Amino acid sequence: MSTVLITGAGTGIGNLTARALARAGHRVYASMRDTTTDHAEELRKLATDERIDLRPIVLDVQSEESIQQAIDAILGESGVLDVVVQNAGHLATGYVEAFTAEDIARLFDINVLGAQRVNRAVLPHFRARRSGTLLYVGSTSVLDVPPFLGPYVASKAAFDVMAQATRYEVAPLGIESVIVMPGPFTRGTNHFPNASRASDSAVTQGYAELEPFVARNLQATNSLFPEGVDPDPVAVADEIARVLALPYGTRPFRTVVDFTRFSVDDINELSTSHIRRAMHHMGYEQLLTVAHN
């Protein structure tokens, strides 16, 4: 089994994934900014009660020092790190104009630069081993771009593109990449309850006539699901566990966990076909295949 680091594992999908992977037999480092919280204590108790290897660890994706300390601690304890699950992220809602540049910079700092900081800390270890898995928790929102989430979706799109570009450069070195794309989940996480708002209230007031649309956002999102379907985010954790159970080098680059009426897989298939054709014409096909070293 693998030694796994999960970012943003205090709550939500990251927390569920930490539990699922530890129960599957992996050694899991569940990272969060503060390990003195009830969330961390719950994971410690679970590890003791179920005799699984689940270890809360401090890691703040906005701090290079914090990230490096966490990576050093993991390597010091385990001697190896096999998988990084890039899950940490923050949601912000509001009208695009009402987000200040500082609002958007903070969002990108967490959702995009946070992942880049973690990659820069872990990739030297992966490159030295010629092995390792970067698994990114993305979003189907980059395809359908829902309203009132503009800067958040922009950050997830940047996160996705960075993951794709990094894949080309690390695959020839034996390092694989996976993007798991969850669809919308309206319960079971703190994503929406903990979301921040655009900070310019004066501009927000200028969009008052759109407030009825905002007020029915939850209802509108739930209307995307077929009747009788109640999406549970544990499905994302289960999919991550399934993917990591596959033989190394055979894991899909993209996989979708979506309970809506729409076929995101069809869009991904078309995009993948386009990328393969483009890479073929450029003579870069080998950058799409994980090297076996």
Domain count of the fold of the chain: 1
CATH code of 113's domain: 3.40.50.720
Q: Structure tokens of 82?
A: 């096999």
Say what the alpha-carbon torsion angle 195, 39, 162, 283 is, to the nearest 10 degrees.
-140
Q: Please check whether residue 27 lies inside any domain of the structure.
A: yes
In a domain, 19, yes or no: yes
The question of whether 284 is a catalytic residue gets the answer: no
- Are 6 and 118 contacting, i.e. CB atoms less than 8 angstroms apart? no
Q: Which of 152, 168, 207, 248 is catalytic?
A: 152
> According to the model, what pLDDT value does residue 249 have?
86
Please report whether residue 98 resides in a domain: no
Tens of pLDDT along the chain (293 residues)? Answer: 899 999 999 999 999 999 999 999 999 999 999 999 999 999 999 999 999 999 999 999 999 999 999 999 999 999 999 999 999 999 999 999 999 999 999 999 999 999 999 999 999 999 999 999 999 999 999 999 999 999 999 999 999 999 999 999 999 999 999 999 999 988 777 777 778 999 999 999 999 999 999 988 888 888 888 888 888 999 999 999 999 999 998 999 999 999 997 888 899 999 999 999 999 999 999 999 999 86
209 belongs to a structural domain: no
**Which domain covers residue 110, as residue numbers?**
3-93+106-197+229-288
DSSP 184-215: ---SSSSTTTT-EE-S-HHHHHTTGGGHHHHH
Q: What torsion, rounded to 10 degrees, do the Cα atoms 163, 107, 183, 52 define?
A: 80
Query: Is 205 among the domain residues?
Result: no
Residue 252: inside a domain: yes
Is 176 a member of any domain? Answer: yes
Q: Is the pTM of this model over 0.85?
A: yes
Q: Is the Cβ–Cβ distance between 5 and 83 less than 8 Å?
A: yes
Instruction: Please check whether residue 282 lies inside any domain of the structure.
Output: yes
Strand partners, 197: 93
Cα–Cα distances in angstroms (integers) from residue 136 to residues 8, 10, 77, 184, 226, in the given order: 12, 17, 24, 16, 27
